[in-house]
Amino acid sequence: MSEDFFIKEFPNGLTLLSQPMSAASSAALTILTPAGASHDPADAAGAASVAAEWHVRGAGDRDTRQLQDALDELGSHHSEAVQSEHMHFSSIQLGRNLADILAIYADILQRPQLTDASFQPSRELALQDLASLEDEPARKCNLLLMEKFFPYPLGRCIYGSQETLEALTADVVRRQISAHVSAANTILAVAGNVNWDELSALVERAFGDWPGQAGPTVSVTDQPAGITHIEKDTAQTHIALAHRSVPISHDQYYAARVAGTVLSGGMSGRLFTEVREKRGLVYHVSCRHQGLKDTAGMFTYAGTRPEVAQQTCDVTVNELRRLAEGVEEHELQRAKTQLKSALVMQGESTSARAAALAADWYHLGRLRSLREISKSIEQITARDVTRYAKDWPAETLTALVIGPQTISTE
Amino acid sequence: MEFAEAQLNNGLRIIAEVNDDAASMAAGFFVRTGGRDETPEIAGVSHFLEHMMFKGTQRRSPLDVNREFDEMGANYNAFTSEENTVYYGAVLPEFQTRLLDLLCDILRPALRQEDFDMEKNVIQEEIALYQDRPHYRVYEALMNRHFAGHPLGNSVLGSTESIAQLRRDDMQRYFDRRYSPGNVTVVGVGNLDFEAFVDKVGQMCSQWQPYDTTRELTQPGDSRRQATIADGKVTREHIGMMSPGPAAQDEARYAAELAAAIVGDQTGSRFYYALVEPAIADEAHLTYTPLDGTGAFLAFVSADTDRAPEAVRIARAELERFVENGPTDAELQAAKNKIASYATLKGELPMGRLTAVGFDWVYRHKYVPMPEQIDTLFAVTKQEVHELARSYDMTATTVLGLGPLESL
């Protein structure tokens, strides 16, 4: 597998990353621009979500429909999303259509029309997304847990609240866009069927004149741990737990990933074995590492019938804490194999590679080869995992419970 | 890409699409059985049995099965639908034989009573999980109404009651009726060694005894009507609409796929412009579902309660307009580009090719290379799409709403 990386940093602050993949006919594009939901003012929470939708409702010379049709004609599978730190655009298409797609995204980012007429439906969809959470308790549980866990406002619900969305005006969102959507600190990554010289010339032409001025940074406040219960007459009690972990740049990061895999990799992980296989308490239980740039957590979720919710929580929390007592050699080997194998399989996917390039650049300021990651995983010892689990124990938990009754995490 | 096939003496078919450029390989067992092959007394048995397949064999305990998959770093799972049950795993090429050893072995499960009793709890949890997902509830209730009286209307999960009453021996009898080698296709894709593949499957599965398995393909009746399930615990109105479509065996499926994309793709479709773009609904899409001997178009719309009746009116009007006038040239071209592009992207990963190659064989006993399928798609004319929309009458919908409203 080819692992040639190309990097070009433009004077306006834009970074272009690329990995040509010889076997692929597709080219995947990922754009991260530092206009994520954590930048929304408190009284305008949800602005970034509305902005992401608004950006694709007409750009350059094309109105909403012409823009959409142009993407469709090029066979683009695209999405727009907002996360804590970034507004995220992705599009995957055949490599031969990449040049035309880049020209369209240059319009979307630099010349969105942002008309008053298209503002209302953009905001209305965000309101409906927020309301939809009521019918998706598992998703709501995990989203609200982020809000309670991460230093505020880094985990705040990307849709804001009904009040802030209803109060939002087109001008407020335009101000947010002009403050944060710029070439400064924007990352554009392309993986797959792509030629570097052509790509870099195209991007130079399409994005080289884009002004870049970095927006203000977010100041954050730590939040107390504890349990939040949202009473709802659901069929299952939804339990989401979080405890501190290390971000990608930390030297214990790979130990954290191995630890997470011992707990929750495949069907032989400790949580699946103890909670589901031995006790039949759940259909779904899992734990995953999720990191922002400077902070990270281990997020655990279990959905279970209310009558066994307390038992499910007890067994789950016990497994999270037991990790600090050590891991067996066979568990360690299995976890490493799983992580390395997943790496190779993701390495076949152009969209996974484009997203990984952009994430590496943001978190580390450099690109990791699959070989480097594989080697770093291989070097982790049982002692590293135990030390990680002791340094970052599941003692203080933030919990979010949706269901008829609450539970205790003690 | 190279296609290869073989058959064991007991009728078990082995097919593969070999791609030396791939970094991984995937293998799947496609069993032609599902909810439609059940009687009401054993509702949910196909899916429960799928879980039990991971619960060990004569030589492996349940924990052995999980552990061995994970020791290979496999990406593996199984799923059960109305008419298929599929077990699959993807691994690095060096694990080909170990993966097959495990998959072939678990397809002849021990079905131990204690494991059966424990897994019953997990199934009940899964049923509860889906009760908290209005989307799934609409799908299940819509299938039940659209296919009223036809086995395709059976619930795949079964009910709390049917699962509670199910006995291990019922499951064994179902297994003995449906898992004959002639009813199973072994599919390999990606970077694999076909000769070794066939040898291993032969060594593991040649002693499987064949017996007769049949599925009667009756046509569903006309069930178009509108109903609601009023549930105050649900916040928004979730609406499903279903109308008849061509069968999986029918060449008209290409035109059907195009019709569905033009009317109801997630982006740039008629539903998108009429419902999502003006924010009348936050979700409105339509897909074509090819089935064994029949087929369906399935639409989902979700909206605020006060706009739900309007959303249904608009969706119906869009269907009527499409049946009346057919697609435009530009719409047809865009739909072809989108479908071809998506198939190509999906085909770059062995896991993406596994189901495509597998179902081509299950339904049509045929392997068609992707470029040829794309040529066929591009040859479909505007008239053919219009004719399809008319002849299957895409306006003949069964409509079901789930949410606060008493009626739509």
Q: Let me know if residue A357 belongs to a domain.
A: yes
A316 contacts chain B (CB < 8 A): no
Query: What are the tens digits of pLDDT across the range B12-29?
Result: 999 999 999 999 999 999
Q: Which residues contact A140 (CB under 8 A, 6 or more apart)?
A: A133, A134, A230, A402
Dihedral over alpha carbons B125, B127, B132, B135 (to 10 degrees): 150
Query: What are the tens digits of pLDDT across the range B245-268?
Result: 999 999 999 999 999 999 999 999
Q: What is the pLDDT along chain A (410 residues), one digit of tens a residue?
A: 457 999 999 999 999 999 999 889 999 999 999 999 999 999 999 999 999 999 999 999 999 999 999 999 999 999 999 999 999 999 999 999 999 999 999 999 999 999 999 999 999 999 999 999 999 999 999 999 999 999 999 999 999 999 999 999 999 999 999 999 999 999 999 999 999 999 999 999 999 999 999 888 899 999 999 999 999 999 999 999 999 999 999 999 999 999 999 999 999 999 999 999 999 999 999 999 999 999 999 999 999 999 999 999 999 999 999 999 999 999 999 999 999 999 999 998 999 999 999 999 999 999 999 999 999 999 999 999 999 999 999 999 999 999 999 999 87
Residue B161: other Cβ atoms inside 10 A: 10
Q: In the numeric block, which tokens belong to residue B41?
A: 């007394």
Question: Collapsing DSSP states into helix, strand and coil, what is residue B151?
Answer: helix
**Is pLDDT at B158 greater than 70 in this prediction?**
yes
Q: Quick one: A132 and A184 in the same domain?
A: yes
Q: In the numeric block, which tokens belong to residue A254?
A: 């790979």
Q: Quick one: A254 and A192 in the same domain?
A: no
* The pLDDT of residue A2: 52
CA distance A383 to A250: 17
* The pLDDT of residue B220: 87
* The residue to which tokens 């419970």 are assigned: A401
Query: Considering only CA atoms, which of A239, A217, A218 is closest in space to residue A228?
Result: A239
CB contact under 8 A, A132 and B333: no
CB contact under 8 A, B92 and A344: yes
Q: Let me know if residue A146 belongs to a domain.
A: yes
* The pLDDT of residue B208: 97
Query: Considering only CA atoms, which of A93, A106, A80 is closest in space to residue A350?
Result: A93
Query: Considering only CA atoms, which of A126, A91, A372, A128 is closest in space to residue B345?
Result: A91
DSSP state of B95: G
Please state the separation of Cα B85 from the chain's center in Å.
Answer: 9
Q: Let me know if residue A184 belongs to a domain.
A: yes
Q: Let me know if residue A215 belongs to a domain.
A: no
Bridge partners of A138, per DSSP, are none
Q: Quick one: A287 and A391 in the same domain?
A: yes
Q: Quick one: A197 and A230 in the same domain?
A: no
| Integer angstrom CA distances of residue B193 from A232, B190, B317 | 53, 9, 53
CB contact under 8 A, A69 and B235: no
Residue B187: other Cβ atoms inside 10 A: 26
DSSP state of B40: G
**Is pLDDT at B147 greater than 70 in this prediction?**
yes
Query: What are the tens digits of pLDDT across the range A15-50?
Result: 999 999 988 999 999 999 999 999 999 999 999 999
Q: Tell me the CATH number at A47.
A: 3.30.830.10
Q: Quick one: A292 and A184 in the same domain?
A: no
Chain A residues in contact with B342 (beta carbon < 8 A): 75, 77
**Is pLDDT at B184 greater than 60 in this prediction?**
yes
Of A57, A71, A268, the CB nearest to B66: A268
A68 contacts chain B (CB < 8 A): yes
B20 contacts chain A (CB < 8 A): no
DSSP state of A249: T
What H or E segment, with its residue span, contains residue B75? Answer: strand B75-80
In chain B, the residue whose alpha carbon lies closest to the alpha carbon of A262 is: B70
CA distance A53 to A79: 10
The amino acid occupying position A269 is G
Q: In the numeric block, which tokens belong to residue B386?
A: 């219009």
Q: Quick one: A171 and A54 in the same domain?
A: yes
CB contact under 8 A, A341 and B92: yes
Query: Considering only CA atoms, which of A260, A254, A302 is closest in space to residue A145?
Result: A302
Chain B residues in contact with A93 (beta carbon < 8 A): 341
CB contact under 8 A, A305 and B124: yes
DSSP state of B268: S
Mean pLDDT of chain B: 96
End-to-end CA distance of chain B: 51
Please state the separation of Cα B4 from the chain's center in Å.
Answer: 24
Domain borders along chain B are: 2-205, 226-403
Q: Let me know if residue A68 belongs to a domain.
A: yes
CA distance B113 to B129: 25
CA distance B334 to chain A (A): 5
Number of domains within chain A? 2
B381 contacts chain A (CB < 8 A): no
Question: Collapsing DSSP states into helix, strand and coil, what is residue A49?
Answer: helix
Q: Quick one: A248 and A362 in the same domain?
A: yes
Give the angle B351-B339-A359 at the CA atoms, nearest 5°.
55
Q: What are phi and psi of A50, to 5 degrees?
A: -65, -40
Q: Quick one: A363 and A312 in the same domain?
A: yes
The third-level CATH classification (topology) of the domain covering B226-403 is Cytochrome Bc1 Complex; Chain A, domain 1 (3.30.830)
CA distance A11 to A140: 41
* The pLDDT of residue B219: 87
The amino acid occupying position A349 is S
Q: Which band of pLDDT confidence, cut at 50, 70 and 90, is reported for residue B349?
A: confident
Q: Quick one: A188 and A249 in the same domain?
A: no
* Mutate: best of A277, A278, A315, A346, partner B, most B CBs <10 A: A277
- Specify the higher pLDDT residue, B352 or B331: B331
Q: Which band of pLDDT confidence, cut at 50, 70 and 90, is reported for residue B221?
A: confident
A179 touches A213 (CB < 8 A): no
CA distance A131 to chain B (A): 7
Q: In the numeric block, which tokens belong to residue A275?
A: 């909670």
Q: Quick one: A38 and A160 in the same domain?
A: yes
**Is pLDDT at B367 greater than 90 in this prediction?**
yes
Query: What are the tens digits of pLDDT across the range B112-134?
Result: 999 999 999 999 999 999 999 99
> Considering the domain B2-205 in this protein, what is its CATH number?
3.30.830.10
Q: Let me know if residue A141 belongs to a domain.
A: yes
Give the pTM: 0.96
Residue A51 structural domain: 6-207
CB contact under 8 A, B125 and A282: yes
What share of chain B has pLDDT > 70, as a percent?
Answer: 100
Taking residues B366-390, report their average pLDDT. 97
Q: What are phi and psi of B223, to 5 degrees?
A: -125, 20
Q: Let me know if residue A410 belongs to a domain.
A: no
Q: Quick one: A52 and A109 in the same domain?
A: yes
- Sheet with A6-9, side-by-side order of all strands: A6-9, A15-20, A187-192, A26-33, A87-94, A77-82
| Integer angstrom CA distances of residue A152 from A28, A41, A81, A293 | 33, 12, 20, 14
* The pLDDT of residue A161: 97
Residue A368: other Cβ atoms inside 10 A: 18
CB contact under 8 A, B279 and A128: yes
Helix crossing, B382-391 with B308-325: angle to 10°?
120
Taking residues B61-67, report their average pLDDT. 97
Q: Let me know if residue A1 belongs to a domain.
A: no
CB contact under 8 A, A283 and B24: no
Buried b (16+ CB within 10 A) or exposed e, A254-273: bbbbbbbbbbbbbbbbbbbb
Of B74, B132, B135, the CB nearest to A235: B132
The amino acid occupying position A306 is P
Is the alpha carbon torsion for B379, B383, B389, B393 positive or negative? Answer: negative
Size of interface A-B (CB pairs under 8 A): 184
Taking residues B299-324, report their average pLDDT. 98
Taking residues B174-201, report their average pLDDT. 97
Taking residues B383-389, report their average pLDDT. 98
* The pLDDT of residue A270: 98
- Got the DSSP string for A178-238? HHH-SSTT-EEEEEES--HHHHHHHHHHHHTT----PPPPPP-B----EEEEEE---SSEE
CB contact under 8 A, B124 and A134: no
In chain A, the residue whose alpha carbon lies closest to the alpha carbon of B63 is: A268
Chain A residues in contact with B279 (beta carbon < 8 A): 120-122, 124-125, 128
In chain B, the residue whose alpha carbon lies closest to the alpha carbon of A64 is: B277
Query: What are the tens digits of pLDDT across the range A327-355?
Result: 999 999 999 999 999 999 999 899 999 99
Q: Which residues contact B43 (CB under 8 A, 6 or more apart)?
A: B35, B154, B155, B158, B159, B162
End-to-end CA distance of chain A: 49
